[in-house]
Amino acid sequence: MPAIRTLSQQAIGFRHRHRVLMQVGSLLLLCFASHLMAAPAADAIHKVDFRSMDYGAFEELAMEPDQTYKVIKGKVERDRGFGYFSVNEVQYGDLDNDGRTDAVVHTFDNHGGTGTFSMLTWFYIEPDGTLTARNIDGGDRSDNGVDGFKFKGSEVTVQANFGDAACCANGVVIKQFTASGGGLKEISPRRVGPSTTQPPEALRLAKGAHAADIRLAGSAGQYRQVTARKGQTLTLQLTQPVAGSILQVIAPNGKTLAYDQANASLQVVLPVSGAYIVGAIAAEVPQVGYGDGIPGALRVAIR
């Protein structure tokens, strides 16, 4: 005959099961809450004030540990009375495509001399909430200093200066990066173009002349601006050709109209009237940021 439980025994059993369920539920809620606390929000990077923080905590940026990197309102003067560290611009995207917002920060670092390092740094938040920094690109003024950048989606496009003298950029090398496997990688062939912060000078043709020379004489490359009309033919010709030299024509809308690295001359019929930019760049500039130089001149003819 099966055992018969009294109402009192049933009530005790119910209370025991209820207590166990409550304890299990509390543990599950505690674990869930801990998980929520441990995982930063996808847009947590927006809570970081990049214009008021201590950049000295990041080895990638603090090139001289004895100097001050604690930025307030975008800039800090050095403790030693000269030089500065400043934040130029911050842009947001998702460089590693992990669903969390990242930041790319453009900074200037001057140590008291003529050199000013223009750097681009990727900041992201680790799953444990740690803010981490990785260098993307940068250098000293015309020696790979960052001229400009655009961070969109999971790609950042960088314009890095090149030039014959440290003070002055002749143009820029354009690079595109994304993040993969915990590191950065370039995702397209490098290109060249004129500087956006130091626009090319105008090339003026003498009255009645149809051509003029841009002196190269060993330069890593030169750009000039020429004004022409729709339907005219623009011809570029190296007076002393060097294999692999780049000839380039940029339309008034800023897009490359013609780009040639196989010939010593380039000819194009102009689609619109306006200011065009023409240039000749040494073959090795896109890869190394400088060149052995192109002798002679670039002859520019408009007819």
The DSSP call for residue 203 is P
The span from the CA of 296 to the CA of 276, in Å, is 22
Q: What Å distances lie between residue 209 and 213, 232, 238, 280, 300, CA to CA?
A: 11, 14, 18, 21, 11
Average pLDDT, the chain: 86
Helix, strand, coil distribution of the chain in percent, nearest 5: 15, 45, 40
pLDDT at residue 211 in the model: 97
CA distance to 163, 264, 266, 268, per residue, from 238 (Å): 19, 6, 9, 15
Count of residues making up the chain: 303
pTM, entire model: 0.80
Rounded CA-CA distance 100/40 in Å is: 9
Question: DSSP code of 231?
Answer: T
- pLDDT of 59-81, one tens digit each? 777 666 666 678 888 888 776 56
Q: What is the pLDDT of residues 153-202, one digit of tens each?
A: 999 999 999 998 888 899 999 999 999 877 899 999 999 999 988 889 99
pLDDT band per the 50, 70, 90 thresholds, residue 277: very high
The one-letter amino acid at 77: E
Q: What are 4-45's pLDDT values in tens digits? A: 444 454 444 545 554 544 554 555 454 444 444 556 899 999
Identify the pLDDT of residue 181.
Answer: 79
| Longest CA span, the chain | 124
